A and B are shown apart, each in its own frame.
Chain A
Amino acid sequence: MATYQEFIQQNEDRDGVRFSWNLWPSSRLEATRLVVPVSCLFTPLKERPDLPPVQYEPVLCSRANCKAVLNPLCQVDFRAKIWACNFCFQRNPFPPSYAGISEVNQPAELMPQFSTIEYIVQRGPPTPLIFLYVVDTCLEEEDLQALKESLQMSLSLLPPNALVGLITFGRMVQVHELSCEGIAKSYVFRGTKDLSAKQIQEMLGLTKPAASGQQGRPPAPQDAAASCRFLQPVHRVDMNLTDLLGELQRDPWPVPQGKRPLRSTGVALSVAVGLLEGTFPNTGARVMLFIGGPPTQGPGMVVGDELKTPIRSWHDIQKDNARHLKKATKYYEAMANRSAVNGHSIDIYACALDQTGLLEMKCLSNLTGGHIVMGDSFNTSLFKQTFQRVFSKDYNGDFRMAFGSVMEVKTSRELKVCGAIGPCVSLNSKGSCVSENEMGVGGTSQWKVCSLNPSTTLGMYFEVVNQHNAPVPQGGRGVIQFVTQYQHSNTQRRIRVSTIARNWADAQSQIQHIESSFDQEAAAVLMARLGVFRAESEEGPDVLRWLDRQLIRLCQKFGQFNKDDPTSFKLSESLSLYPQFMFHLRRSPFLQVFNNSPDESSYYRHHFVRQDLTQSLIMVQPILYSYSFYGPPEPVLLDSSSILPDRILLMDTFFQLVIYHGETIAQWRKAGYQEMAEYENFKQLLQAPLDDAQEILQTRFPMPRYVDTEHGGSQARFLLSKVNPSQTHNNLYAWGQETGAPILTDDVSLQVFMDHLKKLAVSSSA
C-alpha cells in the first residue's frame, strides 16, 4: 500500500468515507488525547458508476440485536456453509440460496472490492415519488411570473408517474385539487389558525367517513381517488396543472401602505405536512416551498406585518429582542420532526432581497434532508438553474435523489458511535454500539435521512470503548458497517452496505504512525462540523474558544518544539495545513455572524453540514486561482498578497464565484484591448477564468452567486473579506513593492494567528 494519501483517496472513492484517523488508538484515553475524535465523513450514496446493484436481499446476522450484513471481512467456512459475524461473532448458516457457495464461487458481498455494495430489495408495491409545491403568491409580478415558469418547466422534468400537488398561499392557504374536470377547485385554510394534522385531514376530506347508516341513499361511490385528489400523477394532470400555474395570481388581498403582505407560510407548511402525513406516510416525498418573504402571520410568523418593525438581526437576537424567534423556531421544529418521521423532506427556495425567516425555518430542511436555496429573486439564473438542477439525473437517467433513507451504523465491540452531524434525525435506536457520550445527533445507531443525494455527507463520530488498562490488542481491526436503506428515485427500495475496517494502533508506541494516518482535511471538516453544531446552540465566542483550545491541544500533542520557544515549533506534514484551516474556519460565516444576517448564517451552515469533504473545504478555505501572462493559471494563497494589478483572480467560496480583475487588467479591459486583434492573448486571458468558472457552475449545487468584479469594484468585497489580511492599513510597510492589496480590517492575519498559536502551544503554562 502506498501513501496514506492514496489510501485515503482510494477509500473515499470506494466507500465514500474519510476518517480523521486512519489508525485508531487502542484505548479511550489515548483517543481522547488525540483531540480530534475518531470520526469520519460518510457519503452514503456516493456515486459509484462502477458498482451495479445486486438484485437480492442482503444476508443478515441472525442475532436479533446485531443483524449486521454479511461482508468481505467476515470469516466464512465454505464447507460448513457458515459465516461468522464480525461484529458479534455469531456464527450464521448461509441461507439455502447460497448452497453453491465455495472459495471460487463467492457472492459479490464477500469480495474485498465490494466493501460497499448495493442491494435491490422487494418491499411492498413501488410508490411513486411525490412532489408537493408550496408556493408563496405574495411576490412581485415579475418574480411570480418567473417562478410560475420554473414550476411549469419542472413538470417536464418529473417522471410521468410521479405525483404532484400544489399548495399556494398568501393571506390564505389554498390546496388545489387536481383531479377535477371543469371547475378548478381548491380547499382554503385560514392563514392564522394552527390546525392539527387531524383537523387538516378532516377538512381536506381525507379521513374515511364513518360508514353512513343512512337509508335510501345510494352507496357512496368508492372514493379511492379521494385521498389523492390533491396529488396526481404528472402525466394525468400535466396540462391541467400547467394551466393552473399559468392562472396563478398574486395574492389578491390588498396590502396597505407600510405593511408587509400577509404570508401564511406556517399554516401552508402545516397543511402540506398534514396532507402528506395523511395520504402517503413513509413514502418518499419532497415538499418544495417557494417563498418571497418572511412569514408574517399565523403560527410560525417571523415578523409582524408592520414594515416599520424590521425583521430580527443578529443584534436583536443577541439582545433577546426577537419577539417571534423562539415561538416560530419551535413551531417549525415540531413540523420538521413530524415530516421527518414520515420520511418527507422539505426544500426551501427563498428568493428575496431581505430575509425570509430561514433562521426559524432552517430545521425544516436540516432535519429532513431538504435543500435550502437562497437568492435575490426568482427571476435570476441562480434560482432558475439551481431549481433545474434539483431534478438533475445521473448516468442511468435517474434523479440524483433518494428518499426516506434509514442509515444504521454497526460497530465492532471496541467502538461505539457517539453521533452524527448532517441532514438527519435520530431514530432513537439504542443498541450496544451506542455511546452515552453524544456528539452531534447521538444516542442512537440509526438515523433517518429523508432525502439524500450523491453528495450528501454526514459526519459520524465514534469513541473507543476500551479502557487504558485494557487496550484493544494489537493487530486487530476495528470494523464499522453503514447500512443505508432508501427509496431510489426510480422507486426501488435499496440497501447500500459499506463495511470499513481500520487497524488499531497503540498510541504510546505508534504515535508517529497514528500521526501520519491523520487526514487533516477530513479532520478539519469534522471539527468544523462539531463547531457549527455547537454554534447553533452556543454563543459564538464560546465556540471559537473551544475550537482554539482544541487546536492548541492538537498542536501541543503533535507539534515538535522546545518548551516556551515558539520559534522552535514545527508540525509534521500531515498536520501542517490544519491550523490554516482553523484560521479560515474562525473567519468563516459559519462561525462569524458579523456582516451576515441570521438567514445567511443559517443558509451557510445548512450547506456546510451536508456537503462532501471537498466542497466543505472550499467553504472553509476558499480556493483562489490566479491568471496572468506569466504562466498558466495557478492556485495562489488566499492572501491579500495575491491581489495584484496584473492578475485576474478566480475565487470559489462555494457560495460565491468571484472573478476579480486586477487594477491594470481592469484598465486594459476598459480600454477595450480585448477587442483588438493584436491583443488576442489578452482576450484569451480574460476568457480563461470565465471558462473555469463555467465549469464550476456546471456542477455546483446550489448555484453559486456569480460575481464579476475588478479592482475597486464594490463587489470586490466578496474577495477582500475572504483573503488572509496579511497586509492591512495597519502594517502597510512595503510601498512601491508588488505587495498586493491592503485590506481595511482589524482582523488578524494568518501570520499573527500562527504566532499566537505557537506561543500558546509551546507555553508550559497552557
Chain B
Amino acid sequence: MSQQGYVAAPPYSQAQPGMGGYQGGFGTGPAQPLYGHYGGPPQAFSAPPTGMMKSPVSSAVGMPPPPVSSQYNPNVQQNGAHPQRYPAPPAASAAYGQPLQAPYNSMGSAAPPPAQQLTNQMGAMNLGNYASGPMQSPPPPPTNSVAQQPFQISPPPAMGQPQMPPGLQSPHMSPQMSPPQSPPATMPMAGPPMAGSQMAGPPMAGSQMAGPPMAGSQMAGPPMAGMGRPFPGPPPGPGGFQQLGPGAAGPPGYPQQGGQFGGQMAGPQTGMPGAFPGAPGGLAGPPQKKLDPDSIPSTTQVIEDDQVKHGGQVYSTNVRGQVPPLVTTDFTVQDQGNASPRFMRCTTYSLPCTADLAKQCQVPLATIIKPFATLPKNETPLYVVNHGETGPIRCNRCKAYMCPYMQFIDGGRRFQCGFCNCVNEVPVFYFQHLDHMGRRVDLYERPELSLGSYEFIATMEYCKNNKRPNPPAYIFMIDVSYNNIKSGLVRLICDELKTLLENLPREEGAESSAIKVGFVTYNKILHFYNVKSALAQPQMMVVSDTAEMFVPLLDGFLVNYQESRAVISNLLDQIPDMFADTNESETVFAPVIQAGVEAFKAAECSGKLFIFHSSMPTAEAPGKLKNRDDKKLVNTEKEKTLFQPQKGVYEQLSKDCVAQGCCVDLFLFPSQYVDLATMADVPSHTGGSVYKYNNFQVETDGEHFLRELRKDVQKNIGFDAIMRVRTSTGFRATDFFGAIHMNNTTDIEMAAVDCEKALTVELKHDDTLSEETGALMQCALLYTTINGERRLRIHNLSLNCSLQLSELYKSCETDSLINFFAKSAYRAILNQPLKNVKEILVNQTAHMLACYRKNCASPSAASQLILPDAMKVFPVYMNSLMKTAPLVGSTELSTDDRAHQRLSVMGMGVEDTQLLLYPRLIPLHNTDVSSEAPPAPLRCSEERLTDSGMFLLENGHSMFLWLGQASPPDLIQNILNLPSLAHLQGHMCALPELDNPLSKKIRSIITGLLEKRPNSMKLQIVRQKDKPELLFRQFLVEDKGLHGGASYMDFLCYVHREIRQLLT
C-alpha cells in the first residue's frame, strides 16, 4: 500500500522510457504553446488574471471594472470575487508589475550574483547552472522554461535595454509584448500571470498594486536598486556571471542567494547555455576541488530572501493558484476565498492538466492539510456558520459544502456545484437575490460564500448515534512501576498536574474548561480513582483483570476539575506515597489504552489519554511485548520488520480508539528498548503524539518533559474527527499520510486532531483538468470541540491547472514537496528495503529535475545543473531526508529512535519537516544585543562553525548550544557563569540566569524558540571536540552524515550525474 503512495508518483521503471517522451514533448510542448498564446490573443493573459482577480476583491479598491470581467467570469468559480477580479487587465498588469518588482528587487539584486557563481562553479563541476543564477538568463535568451522566463526577460532587456530587468516583469505583463523574443518568453509567464503572479503573489495585496499604476515607475523604483546591480550582472552576460559580481553587486547582503526569483528567471534559461559552458569549463578544472560551498543553493539564503520579500506583509488568498510565502516566513494571511497556507499547502499550485504531464514530470501532487493550525493573533479566527436545523447546505450529488466555488444561477434560486457541476435548488431560507454581476447580494455577510476557511455548526445527523456529544475528557494514566517511582517521575507528574489542570484548553470566553479529567495509575494492574467532588477522600479501584479490561466506575471517574479540585489534589498528593514502596517492575500497556477507551465508551464521550509509561509491557496481558530488537537486521531485506508494529491486539485497539474518538498521547521514559514501533502504533493512528525521554532523570529532563506536557495538554484540539477531501472533477485524493486511521478509501478518521497535526494527501488525475476552471479542493472536517459541540471545519483551496510544465515547476513548493517525500518514504520503509526506498528518492529527484531541464529550461550544456528556482534547495532537503535516522541503515542508531522519528514525521506539517530536515544554526557569539531579531541562521555545515564561536542549533526536536574550543572566557562567564569551558561538566540543561545583556538576549532567543516550536526541546550544551559533539554534528545536514550519507555537495554532484544520464 504504502508503496503505491510512494512509488506511485512516478513509477520508476517507467521513468526512463518516459524520458524519451519527455524530450519530445518537451521541445515543442511547453515552450511553443506558450508562445503561441502569448503573442496571439491577449486572452492568455486574461485567463490568468481571472485567478488574480480575486485579490482585488479584498482591496476592492477601484476595481469595479470593466466588463472584461464578465468575459472571464464564466469560468471563474468564485462568485463573489469576480467583480473585483475582473479588474481590468491593465490593472492587473500594473499590479503584476509591481509585485514582481518588489520581489525582484530583492531578487534581482541578490539573485543574479549567486546564480552566476553557482553556474560557474557548478559548471566547473560539471553541474549546470542553478535556476537561481539569474545571470545566466541573459545569454540564452528566453527559451521556454517558465521560471526562467523572468530572467529571460531580463536578458533580452538586458541586451537591449538594461533597464529592462526591472521592468522585466512589468513589461511582460502588460504592455510590452513588444520585446520580441523576450516577450514571448515572458509571455508564458505573463500568461500564467501566475508565474508572475506568484512572484507577484505577494504583491497581491491589491492595495499596493493599486498604487503602482506606475508599474513602470515602481518597477523602476524598487527594481532600481536591484536592477542596477542585477542588471549589471546580466548584461555582462556570460562572462559577467562568473564574476560573482552579481553577488557582490547584489545589493546588500543577498549575495549568495541570488534572489530566488531572479534566479529562477535568469539562471536557467539563458545564462547557462552559452556563457556558462565556457565559464564552467574553465573553472571546472581548478575549482573542482575547492568548490565554494557558498556557490551551491543555500537554504538559509532562500529563507532569508523570502522573509525579506514577504516578511510582515499581508498575504491575501484571493488568487487562484498563487504560491504562498515560505513556511519560514513571517507573514499575515487574509482569507479571501482560499484557505490560508497555514491550513493547506500544496506541492505545486499549478497542476498539470493531464495525467501524462504529471507522470512526465514526476513531481508529486499533494496537499498538506493542517486543519487545526494555530492562527497568529492578528488573523481572524474562523467564522462559525449556522445553517439551522437542516444542517449545512451541500451539493446533492457530491455532498460538497457550500463554499465560494458554488455558482448561483437562475436568479439565485439554484446553484451549481463547483466540484461536480450538479445544479441544486437553493433552500428557501437561504435564497438571496443576485446582483448584476451574478453574485449574491449577501456575499460578504456569509463566510461560506466569501472565505476559504470557516466552520459550520453540525446538526444531529452529524453526531454519533444521533446524540449530542458530551464534552471530551482527558485521562492521565501514570505508570507507577518501580522505574517511574524511583526516577521521581511520578511525583513530578503529580505535582505538575495540580497546576496544569488549571489550564486545560477552554472555549473562547468560557469561564472554565468543559473538559473532564480522570486518573489512572498502573503497573501490571490498573488503579482507577473515584474523585467525585462529594467525596472526602479519593477512592481507588483496582482492576487486575487485564485480559479483559473494563472501567470499574462511571460516576466520579471523569470529573470537572474545578469541582473536584480538592479531591484531585488530595489524590495527586497521595499517589507518589502510595506506591513509594512498590517493587513491581512489570507493566501492561494495551489494557491501559483499552481502559481509556472503555471509560470513554461508558461516559459516551471522546477524549485523550496521556500515558506516562516506562518500560516494555512484559506482564502477562494482551499486548505483551518481547524484545525483538535485532541489529543484525539492519541493512537487510528484513530491516523493515523493525519498523512494523507487531500485529494483533494493537491493531484492533487502534480501531477501537478511533471509533470512540480516543486519542492516545504516549510519554515514554525508557531505559532500554521498548519496541516503540509497536507501542506507538496506537498513538500514531489516533492523532496522538509520542514523546520519548531516554534514561529520564528529573534534574536534567524534568523541565523539558514538563514543557512538552504543558504544551500538549493545552493544545488546541478537536476530537472524534472525520475528514474528507473533495475535489473538482478530473482529479481526486488518492492517498493519505498522517496520524490517522482509514476504514475506507475516502474517510480520514482521527480520534483527535490538534493544532500540530497535519496530514498529507496525494492527488491523482482522473481525467484532464481544465486550465480555465482550475482545480478545486474542499477539505471538510467533522469534529467535536473541546466544549462538546459538533462542528464542521471547511477549508477550500483552488489551484491552477496548466498544460505547461513550466507553470508547474514555477509554482512548486519545496517545503511541501519534501514533506510529501518524507512521509511517503517513511511509509515505504515499512514494506521495502531501505536501499530501494533511497534509490527511488534519488531517482525521482533526478527525474523531476531532468524533466525540468528538458522541458522548461533553455537549452544549455549538459554539464550544467539547472534547477527550477522553486526547487533550488530541494536537493539539500532530499539529501537531509536520506540521512535521517529511519533511512540510514546504521546499527549505531537505536531502533526505537528510528521508529520514533519515522512515526512522528508522519503527522508533521510542512513547517516541522522543513525545520527537521534543515535545522537552524544560529551564531550567538556576536549577537547584537540591541537588535530585536535573532541573528540570521547559518548553513548547517561544520565550515560555518568557528573555534571561538558559540552556536545554537535546533530542529524542533533537539537543541544544542555548541561552544567552540576557543570560546573567550568572558563569553563563557557571561553565559554559563563558569570561569572557563573546562569547568563545564555534568549535564547543564538550562542556561543560568545571569544579569548581563548577552545572557538575557540568548536566553530570550532560546525561550522564544521553545515557545514557537510545537515540541519542547532539551537544551544540550556541547563543547567542540567533546564526545557529545557527535550528536550535534549529525544535525549539520550539509555535511557528510555521521552514520553514512553524502554531503550536500556530493549529493548534488550525484544528482547531476543522474540527470545527465537521464537526459542523454
Contact = CB atoms under 8 A, between A and B. Distances in A.
A243 to B, nearest CB: 9
Interface stretch (A3-11, A100-108, A217-225, A231-239): A217-225
B581 interface: yes
Given A185-B542, A188-B542, A204-B544, A221 B552 contact: no
A168 to B, nearest CB: 11
B545 A184 contact: no
B539 A184 contact: yes
Contact of B554 (A177, A202, A252): A252
B463 interface: no
Nearest to A175: B542
Contacts of A203: 525, 544-545
Interface string B671-692: 0000000000000000000000
Given A212-B583, A220-B583, A183 B545 contact: no
A309 to B, nearest CB: 25
Contact of B539 (A186, A190, A253): A186
Contacts of B528: 188
Given A214-B585, A221-B581, A252-B553, A183 B538 contact: yes
Nearest to A203: B544
Contacts of B585: 212, 214, 217
A262 B550 CA distance: 15
A217 B583 contact: yes
Identify whether the interface residues of B are mostly helix, strand, loop, or mixed: loop
B20 to A, nearest CB: 67
B1007 interface: no
Interface string A207-220: 00000101001101
Contacts of A193: 545, 548
Nearest to B527: A185
Contacts of B540: 183-186
Given A174-B541, A189-B545, A218 B583 contact: yes
A247 interface: yes
Interface in A585-637: none
B320 to A, nearest CB: 53
A253 B601 CA distance: 13
B652 interface: no
B816 to A, nearest CB: 49
Interface string A138-182: 000000000000000000000000000000000010100100001
B543 A188 contact: yes
Nearest to B553: A252
A203 B619 CA distance: 13
A56 interface: no
A187 B543 contact: yes
A205 interface: yes
A190 B541 contact: no
Contacts of A195: 545
Contact of B578 (A183, A186, A187, A189): A183
A187 B544 CA distance: 7
B537 A184 contact: yes
B548 A190 contact: yes
B482 A217 contact: yes
Contacts of A186: 539-542
B694 interface: no
B651 interface: no
A247 B535 CA distance: 9
A182 B545 CA distance: 24
Contacts of A190: 545, 548, 550
B1050 interface: no
A253 B578 CA distance: 28
Interface residues of B, number: 28
B555 interface: yes
B541 A252 contact: no
Nearest to B541: A188
Contacts of A183: 529, 537-540, 571, 574, 578
- Chain B CB count within 10 A is highest, among A172, A186, A214, A253, for A186
Interface string B572-613: 001000100101010000000000000000000000000000
B601 to A, nearest CB: 12
B556 interface: yes
B465 to A, nearest CB: 14
B581 A205 contact: no
Contacts of A212: 583, 585
Contacts of A189: 543, 545
Contacts of A182: 537, 574, 578
Nearest to B525: A203
A178 to B, nearest CB: 13
Interface in A300-340: none
Contacts of B529: 183
Contacts of B556: 252
B539 to A, nearest CB: 4
B331 to A, nearest CB: 52
B701 to A, nearest CB: 21
Contacts of B574: 182-183
Contacts of B554: 252-254
A189 B482 CA distance: 25
Contacts of B539: 183-186
Contacts of A221: 581
Interface string B281-307: 000000000000000000000000000
Nearest to A199: B545
- Chain A CB count within 10 A is highest, among B527, B537, B583, for B583
A187 B529 CA distance: 11
A172 B552 contact: yes
Interface string B520-541: 0000010111000001011111
Contacts of A252: 553-556
Contact of A172 (B525, B548, B550, B578): B550
A609 to B, nearest CB: 38
B56 to A, nearest CB: 59
- Chain B CB count within 10 A is highest, among A172, A183, A220, A249, for A183
Interface string A410-440: 0000000000000000000000000000000
A190 to B, nearest CB: 5
B1005 to A, nearest CB: 42
B528 to A, nearest CB: 8
A182 to B, nearest CB: 6
Interface string B540-569: 111111001010111110000000000000
Contacts of A217: 482, 583, 585
Interface in B465-516: 482
A410 B1043 CA distance: 88
A205 B545 contact: no
B905 to A, nearest CB: 37
A188 to B, nearest CB: 3
Contacts of B535: 247
A226 B907 CA distance: 47
A172 B527 CA distance: 15
A560 B620 CA distance: 78
Q: What are the 9 closest A-B residue pairs judged by CB atoms, nearest first? A: A203-B544, A188-B552, A252-B555, A187-B542, A185-B540, A184-B539, A188-B541, A220-B583, A190-B550
Given A188-B553, A204-B544, A252-B553, 18 more contacts: A172-B553, A174-B541, A182-B574, A182-B578, A183-B540, A183-B578, A185-B539, A185-B542, A186-B542, A187-B542, A187-B543, A188-B541, A188-B543, A195-B545, A212-B585, A217-B583, A252-B555, A253-B554
22 contacts: A174-B552, A182-B537, A183-B537, A183-B539, A184-B540, A186-B542, A187-B542, A187-B543, A188-B552, A188-B553, A189-B545, A190-B548, A202-B544, A203-B545, A205-B525, A212-B583, A217-B482, A218-B583, A220-B583, A249-B555, A252-B556, A254-B554
Interface of A: 172, 174, 177, 182-190, 193, 195, 202-205, 212, 214, 217-218, 220-221, 247, 249, 252-254
Interface of B: 482, 525, 527-529, 535, 537-545, 548, 550, 552-556, 571, 574, 578, 581, 583, 585
